[in-house]
Amino acid sequence: MRKRIARALALLAAPVAVAAAAVVPAQAAARAPAHYQLTVIKAANGAFGNVPYAINAAGHTAGLASFPGKNQSAYLSTSPTQLTSLPGIVPNDPTLADATAAYGVNSSDTVVGSAYETLPIRETAVVWRNGVPTDLRILPTDGHVQARAINDAGQIAGTGFDTGTAWLYQNGQTSVLPALPGGHAAEAFGITADGQVLGLSSTSNDTSNAEATVWRDGTPRDLGSLPGSTWSEVHAMNASGIAVGAAGVGGGEFSPRHPVMFSGGKVTDLWPDLGGSTFGAAQAINRSGTIVGDGRGGWVYSNGVRTDLTTLIPADSGLRITAAYGINDAGQIAASAVSTSNRHVSFAVLLTPDSSATR
């Protein structure tokens, strides 16, 4: 099982760097895809988003941002021109006070993620309500615990990465989610509106092999993988039961991964010609079945066609979309972008469908 060692504090203090690469041209479209208005998530005081990991129904985003005079930290944006820094749980420690990351947000603007505590220093799962952090105190002996997703019912899913433990938090109680039969470790990345937890589970003692897993009422279900693959993971699922994520190509944990869709007992490769050693993933899907993700750039998949998002934003924006992390039912997309003249700093952007837009 992967050990996602938490960001070093030095990394938290620096803007996110993104390698620049062009997206492979999309397949010929049967229907012209929507174009998008683009808004950089940036405040008048100079704060700006770097990575918008989550978006809610109102188009509010949460993720990582850079704030003047502070380390990079978790943020909530309820308007593209307003960013709230989400504090840590040790306000008197200047090193750790802003060492936070946000991964999920629900319609009440409740945010989940992680922060650091001291003595010993460890990453712990946190929920922010009205900007105030609460340590969930989940898996206290695990050094790297993250809350990854929250639904409108307030159910929270996350992972203890040192121990390979997927968990669900609801009504003040934590439930450890079992691995698939024969497996010994699991990770959770998402949660549906009705409380199904999404992630992966090992299938044997070899934790470098794992399969996409959905837990309903604590019972795991294997979603399968691509032919010849021994690694897959699921990140999101819509109300129709269509799920999306990633799967290895011809191997396990360390093989290249392609974005995939899980539907009707089948696993579909959404980018079969991604090629090389590139890693790609489908990150989110909305009610209408529109999918967004990353690979050699940010993309949207609709009506059977995957399209480079950079081709769908105003040509004079001066930006290239590098990854898309979330999409709501209104079709708004939370994405990261880099400037075509300076590709070393990532900017969080909000893409809003604009059927009247021309390029």
- Each residue's pLDDT tens digit, 121-179: 999 999 999 999 999 999 999 999 999 999 999 999 999 999 999 999 999 999 999 99
Least Cα distance to 267 among 230, 297, 296 occurs for 230
CATH of the domain at 41: 2.130.10.150
For the residues 15-28, what does the mean pLDDT come to? 35
Average pLDDT of the chain, as a whole number: 89
For the residues 266-291, what does the mean pLDDT come to? 93
pTM of the prediction? Answer: 0.90
- The answer to whether position 1 is within a domain reads no
Helix, strand, coil proportions of the chain in percent (round to 5)? 5, 45, 50
DSSP 309: G
pLDDT at 26 over 50: no
pLDDT at 11: 28
- The answer to whether position 171 is within a domain reads yes
For the residues 75-81, what does the mean pLDDT come to? 97
In which domain, by residue range, is 297 found? 9-23+37-352
Please answer whether residues 145 and 137 qualify as being in contact, where contact means their C-beta atoms are separated by less than 8 angstroms: no
The sign one gets for the Cα dihedral 155, 223, 185, 217 is positive
How do residues 172-195 score in pLDDT, each as one tens digit? 999 999 999 999 999 999 999 999
- The answer to whether position 29 is within a domain reads no
- CA-CA distances (angstroms) from residue 28 to 72, 138, 146, 153, 268? 40, 48, 40, 40, 19
28 vs 225 pLDDT, higher one: 225
Split into its structural domains, the chain has a count of 1
- The answer to whether position 166 is within a domain reads yes
Distance of CA 170 to the CA centre of its chain: 21
